[in-house]
Amino acid sequence: MSGVLVVTGASRGIGAACAILGAARGFKVCVNYHSSPDRAEAVVAKIAAAGGRAIAVGGDMGREKAITALFEQVDEALGPVTALINNAAMTGTVGRLEVMQEAEMAEVFRLNLIGPFLCAREAVKRMSTKNGGQGGVIVNITSAAARLGGASQYLHYAASKGGLETFTKGLGLEVAADGIRVVGVQPGVIDTEIHARMGMPERVAELGRAAPLGRPGTAEEMAQTALWLISGEASYITSTTIEATGGR
């Protein structure tokens, strides 16, 4: 593989694993972060130590100005994007609908759904063969919550990820003739920090054991799935989301 890969929310977890594997596969990588510059720079250092090329770019991927600035910086430092992984997301506060506040609902949808729309817009502008680009692939990281519903925990998160899967379907149809494929990865319970940040550190072990494969997934497994979808081996796959849930 070669080209320029942008990974949003890449300072930890699935995003960091995607950035590291993408660099190992030959991409020049933009490691986006919002509030963890040290961790993003550590990902960049790991890529550089392995002989790859990467830059860390800060910015809230739910804000249009930050998104456009990121893609402009990537243009200048690495070249036009040829692969995008929309990974940045938040769960919001865990609880039933009765305790959810409008402001937090809006933040969840802003980062988890509007942000990927805007990132994909900037990517399509650069990738589209109709605009003089060389084509490319957009991967949206969704969640099994989109299918399971998130009842009594995070309805807003689940609904935003469901919207992201609909967006994956529709955008893939829209830009297929532009040389762009759009695909999704739907992780199940993955052993990352997100569960502890939700205030549910025991969730990984409990739900992982309940999966048919008997364990949680890893960030590296999700990265392998995403990078496979970007590769030529998946060249006839678009407008669909792959379940990577251990059978859950």
- Catalytic site positions: 157
| Sheet of 83-86, strand order | 54-58, 27-33, 3-7, 83-86, 136-141, 180-187, 240-244
Q: Residue 240: what are its φ and ψ, rounded to 5°? A: -145, 160
Per DSSP (E only), the strands in the chain are 3-7, 27-33, 54-58, 83-86, 136-141, 180-187, 240-244
Distance CA 16, CA 8 (A): 9
**In 10 A of CB 100, how many CB atoms?**
16
Q: Which of left, alpha, beta for 21 (phi over 0: left; psi -120 to 50: alpha)?
A: alpha
Residue 112 DSSP code:
I
Cβ(104)–Cβ(93) below 8 Å? yes
Token digits of residue 205: 């072990």
Among 56, 66, 88, CA closest to 164: 88
Which residue, chain included where needed, has tokens 């859950």? 248
